Every structure is written in C-alpha cells, then in structure tokens.
C-alpha cells in the first residue's frame, strides 16, 4: 500500500510538470498510464490557456489527417497487391483446388477417425471455401453434409444457426443439435469471428482414406526434398 501511494504521488507530481509544459490530458495519459478521470482531478487547478488549447486542437487535426492519409495509402496499396495476386493465382485448376483443400484439411480437419471427414473452424470464409472444396473438387452433394455448431451459452442458438445456414446454403434440417459450451462469449478475451465454431461433417471411409493418403503423399515428397 505504501509503495502504491508513493508511485501515485510521483505520477501526480510528474503530471503537474507535464501540464505546466502545456501537455494535453491524452499526452499525459499516454506517458504516465493514468486515467483521464484521475488526471482531471489532479490537474483541475492547472487549466491550459485558450491559445494552447487551439494549438493542441490544430495538432490533433493534423495527426488525424495524417492517419487518414496513411490509411488511404495502405488501402490503395493492398488493392494493388490484391489485383496482382488475383491475376497470378486465379483461376485455380481442379488439381490446384484439390491441393489447396488438402492443405486446409491437413491444418484444420479431423484426422483421428477412419471414416469421418470433419472440418471445424470459426472463420466463415474458411468454412465456405472448405465446403466449396468438398462439393467442387471432391464431388460431394450438399444434401449429404451435416453441420454441428459449437456455441457459448450466452449466444442465440436460433440466430447463429440461421447465420451459418444462410452462409453455407445448407438447410437447417441438416444441422444437428449444437454443442453448447459452459463458458460465455463475453468471458473470453479472443472472440474470433463472433459466431461460434462450425463443424462441417461427412462420413465416407474411401474419401477419408484418399484425403489422408493425399496429405501423406505431399508430406513424404516434402520430407525427401528438405
């Protein structure tokens, strides 16, 4: 307690020094790590002059303008990179699509089961690509695919089921009972994409063997090259 009080006193003294130098609450807050409400109390007897306030406002506007300029430049640069990579990579041949899906399954798919071709992820775009791979590269009918959601107990089950059903274009009749986690979405630091985890399922021994052996063939070839 004594140590904490000493630190606060030191920070208050430093805050007053910085204020006398014409620093704003934001500048002092960033330097000392003290909340604005605390600074407001500490510095209530040290108001800035109108001239200094105008200078700070002008400076803030300049900083914001700079940030906006940099943001636009970055977006423009990324658009250029996107066009370049799109031209370089697309369209994928059926073989390239097959390989892309095998790598995706290698990273995110279920390997332990001998028959279940299961893929779980919270990224909606990744789930869409995986489903595209199943139907286009492997020729699996959407009607034979099952979906199970992993949700937190404070999530709206009907709303999330509707979201994934529309996203994947798979009817709700093909969704099995969701798994509800004991924890809440609000309690976790990393919230991902906010719609839980989508588990896309299809059972077929022959297909599972082709996927696993395809991954093994790529892995073995890579091992020999390294």
Q: Domains of the chain: which residue ranges?
A: 2-48, 94-225
Each residue's pLDDT tens digit, 84-120: 999 999 999 999 999 999 999 999 999 999 999 999 9
Q: How far apart are CA 219 and CA 211, in angstroms?
A: 12
Question: Of the ranges 58-72, 93-107, 132-146, which one carries the lowest mean pLDDT score?
Answer: 58-72
Question: How confident is the model at residue 4, as a pLDDT?
Answer: 75
Banded model confidence at residue 60, pLDDT cuts 50, 70, 90? confident
pLDDT of residue 67: 86
Burial 33-47 (b: 16+ CB within 10 A, else e): ebeeeebeebbeeee
Query: pLDDT category, 189, cuts 50, 70, 90?
Result: low
Relative orientation angle of helices 157-168 and 124-132, to the nearest 10 degrees: 40
pLDDT(217) > 90: yes
Look at residue 164 in the predicted model and tell me its pLDDT.
Answer: 98
**Residue 100: C-alpha distances to residues 94, 179, 211 (Å):** 10, 29, 12
Bridge partners of 203, per DSSP, are 116
- pLDDT of res. 191: 59
Give 94's Cβ-side CA count (13 Å radius).
6
Q: If pLDDT is split at 50, 70 and 90, which confidence band does 8 have? A: confident
Q: State the CB neighbour count (10 A cutoff) for residue 91.
A: 7
Q: Over the stretch 11-57, which tens digit does the pLDDT of each residue have?
A: 888 998 998 888 888 889 999 988 888 888 898 888 888 888 888 88
pLDDT at 41: 87
Which residue from 113, 104, 185, 112 is spatially nearest to 149, judged by alpha carbons? 185
pLDDT at 76 over 90: yes
Predicted local distance difference test score (pLDDT) of residue 49: 86
């Amino acid at each position: 307690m004594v140590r904490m009080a000493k630190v606060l006193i030191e920070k208050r003294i430093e805050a007053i020094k910085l204020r006398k130098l014409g620093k704003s609450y934001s500048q002092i807050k960033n330097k000392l790590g003290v909340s604005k409400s605390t600074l407001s109390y500490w510095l209530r007897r040290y108001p800035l002059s109108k001239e200094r306030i105008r200078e700070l406002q002008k400076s803030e506007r300049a900083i914001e303008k700079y940030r906006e300029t940099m943001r636009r430049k970055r977006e423009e640069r990324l658009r250029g990179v996107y066009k370049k990579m799109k031209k370089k990579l697309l369209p994928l041949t059926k073989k390239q699509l097959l390989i892309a899906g095998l790598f995706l399954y290698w990273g995110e798919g279920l390997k332990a089961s001998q028959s279940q071709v299961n893929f779980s992820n919270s990224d909606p775009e990744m789930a869409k690509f995986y489903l595209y791979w199943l139907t286009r590269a492997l020729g699996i009918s959407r009607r034979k695919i099952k979906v199970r959601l992993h949700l937190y107990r404070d999530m709206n089950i009907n709303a999330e089921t509707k979201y994934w059903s529309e996203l994947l274009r798979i009817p709700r009749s093909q969704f099995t009972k969701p798994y509800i986690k004991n924890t809440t979405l609000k309690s976790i630091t990393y919230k991902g994409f906010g719609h839980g985890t989508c588990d896309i399922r299809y059972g077929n021994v022959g297909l599972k063997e082709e996927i696993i052996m395809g991954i093994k063939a790529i892995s073995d070839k890579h091992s020999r090259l390294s």
